[in-house]
């Protein structure tokens, strides 16, 4: 059974959440309503997962991700927050969070996220929002997201758009298949997408890569429509 600590200063929310988690097979070993209490509890119990609100009272605890991780390095951190901004999500993931789930998504999404992080996945689950576009038809937030990609993640995104399989990407980049999968998962998390196909389509739709790797976005889009392999 998965063990979990829950940290949130909204008492009513915690009282509703804990029974639902337990019904889903997650053993909530402790719930804390103060940040210091949460860190101490995580250090004492070393749970598999810590469900962490980013705000306790008037204080922003983006640095709390690192504090909880330091208290128990084996504990995976699932951020549960009302902050739906991309900047907050990226900051939490870069600090070490394994998942970033918006509170509006509900308990079922939280349980799903916990299951995924226990399998070693990175998870983001934010509300779908509509944004304005610039004169070129590109979502300004899409370009903001792309700025957070590392050089390797951008290279992987280019190869995804080119329709290459994971093993081919690994040979092209001179790294292991495991490393490619890690980069791909990271870029998916930063872009807020849930599949390789969605990542490639997102990059093509918003022209995030500029010069194409081979025959350009139009050719890549045709390959996705034709069912190019995404393994």
Q: Which residues contact 75 (CB under 8 A, 6 or more apart)?
A: 5, 42, 46, 47, 48, 49, 50, 68, 69
Is pTM beyond 0.75 here?
Answer: no
Which domains can be identified in the chain, with CATH numbers?
2-125 (3.40.50.2300), 140-225 (1.10.10.10)
Predicted pLDDT of residue 140: 66
- Alpha-carbon distance 190 to 19, whole Å? 31
Residue the block writes with tokens 């944004």 = 131
Tell me how crowded residue 203 is: count the other CB atoms within 10 A of its CB.
24
Residue 89 buriedness (CB in 10 A; 0-12 / 13-18 / 19+): buried
Q: What is the pLDDT of residues 91-101, one digit of tens each?
A: 888 888 999 88
Q: What is the pLDDT of residues 139-198, one digit of tens each?
A: 666 777 778 888 999 999 988 887 788 888 999 999 999 999 999 988 888 888 887 877
Q: What are the CA-CA distances from residue 199 to residues 94, 156, 188 (Å)?
A: 19, 10, 6
**Packing angle between helix 196-205 and helix 216-225, nearest 10 degrees?**
150
């Amino acid at each position: 059974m998965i063990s979990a600590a829950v940290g949130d200063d909204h008492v009513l929310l915690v009282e509703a959440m804990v029974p639902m988690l337990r019904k889903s097979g997650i053993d909530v070993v402790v719930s804390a309503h103060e940040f210091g209490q949460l860190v101490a509890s995580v250090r004492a119990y070393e749970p598999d997962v810590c469900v962490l609100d980013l705000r306790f009272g008037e204080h922003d605890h983006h640095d709390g991700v690192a504090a909880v991780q330091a208290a128990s390095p084996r504990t995976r951190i699932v951020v549960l927050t009302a902050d739906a901004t991309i900047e907050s999500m990226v900051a939490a993931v870069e600090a070490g969070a394994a998942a970033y789930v918006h509170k509006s998504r509900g308990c079922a999404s939280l349980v799903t996220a916990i299951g995924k992080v226990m399998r070693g996945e990175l998870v983001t689950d934010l509300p779908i929002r509509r944004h304005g576009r610039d004169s070129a038809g590109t979502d300004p937030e899409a370009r903001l997201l792309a700025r957070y990609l590392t050089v390797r993640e951008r290279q992987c995104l280019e190869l995804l758009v080119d329709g290459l399989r994971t093993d081919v990407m690994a040979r092209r980049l001179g790294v292991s298949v495991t490393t490619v999968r890690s980069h791909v998962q990271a870029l998916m998390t930063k872009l807020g997408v849930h599949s390789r196909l969605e990542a490639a389509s997102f990059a093509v739709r918003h022209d995030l890569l500029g010069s194409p790797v081979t025959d350009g976005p139009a050719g890549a889009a045709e390959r996705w429509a034709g069912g190019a392999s995404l393994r």
